Amino acid sequence: DNAPHMGVSYAFFIATKISSTKRIGAHNFDVLCVIFGTLLGDCFAETRNGSTRICIQQENSNVEYLNWLHRFFANRGYCNPQTPKKLTRIDKGRIRYYFKFKTWSFQSFNWIQEAFYVNNVKMVPSTALLHTYLSPLALAVWVIDDGTRNGYGLNLATNSFTTADLTRLQQVLHDKYGLKTTLQKCGAPDQLVLYIWAQSMPTLCKLIQPYLSEAMMLHKLGRYVLTLLF
């Protein structure tokens, strides 16, 4: 587990019979950053019975990342410690394999759901929240969750976000880290991906390297990353 470890014990959260109304936090900064990174990617926040949980699902090709996330949350008492099992689904006549897990529900996660959703539609949180929680750790999670190498740069699959949302994300990435990005059409009407320029990749790789295994870096970014880091 390459992610930073917290000094606070969350064994209290592990007991599944405890009402979500009593799981009130406060949550350490690294936990919130990881959640922000997952929600900028494919994961989603689900509110039920007045509390919110984070739902994480990944294809078999990204199982190392899912297991990394599961260890991160399980070691801190945020989810069932049982290793997620391989599941199957039919997609266009083909059998596909995937894994999923969910955190426990917390009332103290409700503000996160409210920051990311308006009328059940996912959006990018406010600029102020991004400046706070889009840390290098959150950036690492987002890249591994939703990134795809494009030449010597990187695409982030931001298809579901509006142009206004993406423009704010671009500004925050530039202001916080000096990353240069452009918005590119992805083939579907009114959908855009956020492309990180090749010249910004050395900066990006150095930011996220402390939190990810070499295998995870190579899976998403290719062997090119080795020339940037060593």
**How far apart are alpha carbons 90 and 216 in whole angstroms?**
26
Residue 83's closest CA among 101, 97, 96?
Answer: 101
What six digits make up the tokens of 156?
Answer: 């982030």
Q: What single DSSP character describes residue 84?
A: P
> Percent of the chain scored above 70 by pLDDT?
87
Enclosing domain of residue 186 = 11-229
Is 3 among the domain residues?
no
Is 126 among the domain residues?
yes
pLDDT in tens, 57-74: 999 888 999 999 999 999
CA dihedral (124, 84, 73, 215) positive or negative: negative
Is 6 among the domain residues?
no
Is 207 among the domain residues?
yes
Average pLDDT over residues 20-44: 85
**CATH number of the domain that 102 lies in?**
3.10.28.10
The answer to whether 53 touches 102, Cβ cutoff 8 Å, is: yes
Residue 30's closest CA among 65, 48, 46, 6?
Answer: 6
**How far apart are alpha carbons 189 and 129 in whole angstroms?**
29
Q: Is cis: bond before 26, omega within 30 of 0?
A: yes
pLDDT in tens, 133-170: 999 999 999 999 999 999 889 999 999 999 999 999 99
pLDDT in tens, 84-121: 998 888 877 788 899 999 999 999 999 999 999 999 99
Q: How many domains does the chain divide into?
A: 1
Mean residue pLDDT of the chain comes to 87
